[in-house]
Amino acid sequence: MNIKLSTHLKFLYNLELFGIKLGLNNIQKLLNYCENSQNNYPTIHIAGTNGKGTTAHAIAATLQLAGYKVGLYTSPHLIRFTERIKINGCEISDSELNSLVKLFKSEIIKSKSTFFEATTAIAFKYFSDKKVDIAIIETGLGGRLDATNILKPICSVITSIGMDHTKKLGNSIKLITKEKGGIIKSQVPLFTNVAQKSSLNILKNIAKKNNSKVRLIEPNNNLKLSREVLKFINLNYLKISKSQIDLGLKKYKQLTGLHGRFEIISKKPLTVLDVAHNPDAIKNLVNSLKCNYPKKKFIVLFGVMKDKDYGCMCKELLKLNPIIISVQANTNRSLSSKIITNYFLKKNLTAINCKQINTAYELATKLTVEDQILVITGSHYVVGEVLQNHFNA
């Protein structure tokens, strides 16, 4: 979303031309180049379709509150690339990123590494250089063949599993679960709050083959999942008090700078930001909105990527009986806002095709009256653009 990019960021973004390559060969070459710096600190490895970002930030925030130096690697970013790589809530500096790009550049070119492979190697080396006490690492896509799966963590965490990235991970929950379950390592405990029995059985079987203990947590409760992981860390690695855990899980968004998870960004008009970008996430968002605001009406500023199951996402939004303002983020991946508009018009709802996010946001704030709530969702791109241009995030 940044218009002016530094030379090293341009280099990294140009690696997106190589697309997504699932496999560990390239990342192993890059990490061999820096003497496998990922082995210099303990890690928590987190996979899942939805909820892994919240879980990662909650764990990192609590450890930070307890006085530790905590690395946090997540994706995608909302506004700045540097959001992906943080220590104690502070993003990697531009100069530090530049130095690490220079360090890896020849090896990245030689191995034809992808954007995510290069970014992962940079994050692992940065955390080592900064001597973190622990790092919380979120997978990028799937698990088994994700670049982050080069790790040997102290525990693995798998949040909810749903239908997303089906072209890469498979077109069934069974296949997607197997890919996510690929992060389970030999004799490394697994914590999960997966709801489906079929998925749980698959994960249990993978864990059994790896002689890994499984801790089952209440489904879809990411903060409870985070709490159990923190209790495990306290018992086995780094001391954390119960009061620190309670406070960390309460203030994790402020401590880590997490945006876009049912975030009330404004009260006039009451505006909720949520990066829900697949059917399960939209379903959870709709349920939360109806539960928290049962007597309110909704205006939804909505844009989505064309590689998502946008039909199911739109179907879930129908349950709000909203006014829809459709937008199209500034990326080739965006679904045409006209398609979104036509879908809702055919369902006899008010739908306005704005296309441009800035124009749409300005219109939405004028239209939203006292008994209505403005909801901005569908994509990290959409939420990020609103945050960047209207809230100086």
Instruction: Tell me whether strands 85-87 and 155-158 are parallel, antiparallel or unpaired.
Output: unpaired
Boundary of a domain, candidates 236, 256, 276: 256
Q: Where would I find the H helices in 214-309?
A: 222-236, 242-250, 252-256, 279-292
CA distance 224 to 231: 11
**Intra-chain end-to-end CA distance of the chain, in Å:** 13
pLDDT in tens, 12-64: 999 987 667 778 999 999 999 999 999 999 999 999 999 999 999 999 999 99
pLDDT recorded at residue 165: 62
- Based on the domain organization, do 131 and 247 belong to the same domain? yes
Boundary of a domain, candidates 204, 224, 256: 256
The two tokens of residue 182 are 């690929």
Kindly state the average pLDDT of the residues 69-79.
96
pTM score, whole prediction: 0.94
User: Looking at the 3D structure of the chain, how many domains does it have?
Assistant: 2
Q: Which residue has the tokens 């490895």?
A: 45
Q: Tell me the residue range of the domain where 151 lies.
A: 7-256
Average predicted confidence (pLDDT) for the chain = 94
Kindly state the average pLDDT of the residues 113-133.
97
- Based on the domain organization, do 251 and 332 belong to the same domain? no
- Based on the domain organization, do 279 and 226 belong to the same domain? no
The answer to whether residue 2 is domain-embedded is no
CA distance 333 to 331: 5
pLDDT in tens, 86-111: 999 999 999 999 999 999 999 999 99
CATH classification of the domain holding 113: 3.40.1190.10
pLDDT recorded at residue 136: 98
Angle (CA) 71-72-74 rounded to 5° is: 155
The answer to whether residue 1 is domain-embedded is no
pLDDT recorded at residue 167: 64
Which of 146, 151, 143 is closest to 124 using CA atoms?
A: 151
The two tokens of residue 31 are 């990490």
Q: Where are the beta strands (DSSP E) in 263-369?
A: 263-267, 270-273, 297-302, 323-327, 351-355
CA distance 139 to 195: 20
CATH classification of the domain holding 349: 3.90.190.20
- Based on the domain organization, do 17 and 116 belong to the same domain? yes
- Contact between 91 and 79 (Cβ < 8 Å): no
- Based on the domain organization, do 250 and 276 belong to the same domain? no
Boundary of a domain, candidates 197, 232, 256: 256
